[in-house]
Structure formats: structure tokens, C-alpha cells
Amino acid sequence: MTPPSMVLRLLQAIPRAKASGALYWLLTWGRGRLEGGEFLASVQAEKRGNVALVTLNRPRVLNAFDREVIHALTRLAEEFGRDPGVRAVVVTGAGGNFSSGADIAELRGLGGVLEARELTREAHRMMGAIERCPKPFIAAVTGNAVGGGQELCLACDLRVAGEGATFGQVEVNIGSIPSWGGTQRLARTVGVAYAKDLVYTGRLVGAREAFEKGLVSRLVPDDQVLEEAFSLARRIAEQAPLAIEASKASLSRAFDNDLAANLAHDVDLFSALYASEDLQEGLRAFLEKRAPEYRGR
């Protein structure tokens, strides 16, 4: 782990951006707090009053998750939970898309089953940190929210989507499963029958269908997504913080009986699949832009 003093020195060495609308990183580490310093990595964060905005910033790969993104989101969720100045969090994506899910190139390059297993556990820690954070998370979705992108949406408390947004658990199309919690959270959000429809077919669904099925909380024109998400976040932030935290804690327990066991089972399933010829073929075919040839082994 990088020592806090080193992180502070590195951030202080980065000049403050002068461009209009620049994002500024807020880092709270122990008792020390650094405000300012431009943060231009794959995840950007800023505070607007008592609402935090987190932006996935890998637009060239449709904001796909690599380990840097996973670790950054985990840390941010933990930091926001400890920061009394944050009462709600909005998560969005840069470049017109929310997230296309796991970085397929990174997934293909994993060193084997053990590394695939650890990556899945790291993703579980990220989703769990968001769910355990006492502050509500709101996903502001434009463009694609598929695979791990939809799984991130499901870990958030609420989802605001643009009318042109697209959702889907597409993992079956590369011979895999929604191993980052999608099987469990999707079924608990929209019901088992509809979850099976999406998971078994890997099909994409439009925002209207997602809204009608309860996957999306609010549906607005694409150019109003962030505005609506912030309006919702500010409404929540106006409420009694302890009441909101208690409400989230109570609601989070509604389906918690076997969640940990089910997620652990997903790790086992994905680890076994990663060793299969079919998943490796699916990854190769995706990168080579061709149809996969599955052999059932």
C-alpha cells in the first residue's frame, strides 16, 4: 500500500487545473485531508456541496473496468462512508456511456484460474463497499450499461437512465456468467423469471423496458440524466443523515440471508468457467471481432 505521506506529496505536485469545469480530487486519508489537485486517471471524483460525483473515465474502451477502476471505486466508497460532508453519491461515465463491464483484454490476459478468482473477489469487494457505504449511491446512466456495468448499477441504490440507454447481462455471449453479483442482484431487483431471460439470452434491452421491469428507477431524456440524478441526490441529502443511513442499512438486509454464500458460489462458478475452452474462445473471438465457436468443454 502506498504510504499516505507519499500520496499527499504526489497529489500536491500536480498543478491545479485552470480549465473551466475541471474535476478536482478530494482525498480523505485518516485525519489528513487534501482538497484540490487535478486527478486525470481512470476514475474522477469531486464534491458538489454534500453530493459526490464519481465519473468512470475510460471512454476509449467504453469505461470498461480494469483493476485500477475496481480499486479506485472500492476506496472511494469507503472514503465517502467516513466523510460526514458526503450524504449521497452519483456515479456516471464519461464519453456518453456508463460502462461496458470488464476489460476483455485484461480478462484475457489473466495468468490463470487463481488470478481470475482473485479478480472476481476484488470486484465483489468493490460492489460490497458500495452496498455497505451508508450513503446512497445513484447510477446516472447514458449509453451502455452492460455486463459489469449493469452489475455496478445493481449495486447502487437507485438508477436514473436516459431514454437511449441500453442494459444487459451479456456474459453468456463470451461463455461466462455475471460473476460480479449480477445473478443475485438482478434476480432480487427484477425477479427470477426476468433475470433468467436476460442472463440466459445475453440480450440487450432498452431503457424503456428496463424501467417497466423495475431495473431503472427514473427514466428521462438523455440530456437530463445527470441533472435528474443530482436532483434526486440533493433531495436525499436534505433528509436526516442518520435516518437515511438507518434506512439503507435496513433495506439492505431485506434479501441478505444467503447473499454472501451465493456470491461465493459465483466465484467458484466463474473460476471453473475461466478454465474452460469455451470462455477462452469467447474472449479470443471478442478481441478478434469474429463469431465464437463453442465446443462445450
Instruction: Give the catalytic positions in this structure.
Output: 151, 171
Of 63, 51, 73, nearest to 226 by C-alpha is 51
Instruction: Please say whether the beta carbons of 25 and 45 come within 8 A.
Output: yes
Interatomic CA distance for residues 32 and 278, integer angstroms: 49
Q: How many CB atoms lie within 10 A of CB 91?
A: 28
Is residue 167 helix, strand or coil? Answer: strand
Interatomic CA distance for residues 163 and 186, integer angstroms: 20
Interatomic CA distance for residues 208 and 150, integer angstroms: 15
Q: For residue 156, count CB atoms less than 10 angstroms from its CB and return exposed for 0-12, middle for 13-18, buried for 19 or more.
A: buried
Using CA atoms, how far residue 215 sits from 87, 92, 98, 222, 251, in Å, is 23, 16, 15, 17, 17
Q: For residue 144, count CB atoms less than 10 angstroms from its CB and return exposed for 0-12, middle for 13-18, buried for 19 or more.
A: buried
* Residue that is written with C-alpha cell 451479456 in the block: 170
Interatomic CA distance for residues 252 and 108, integer angstroms: 34
DSSP string across 14-77: SPPP-STT--EEEEEETTEEEEEEE--SSEEEEEETTEEEEEE--GGGTT-B-HHHHHHHHHHH
Q: Residue length, the chain?
A: 297
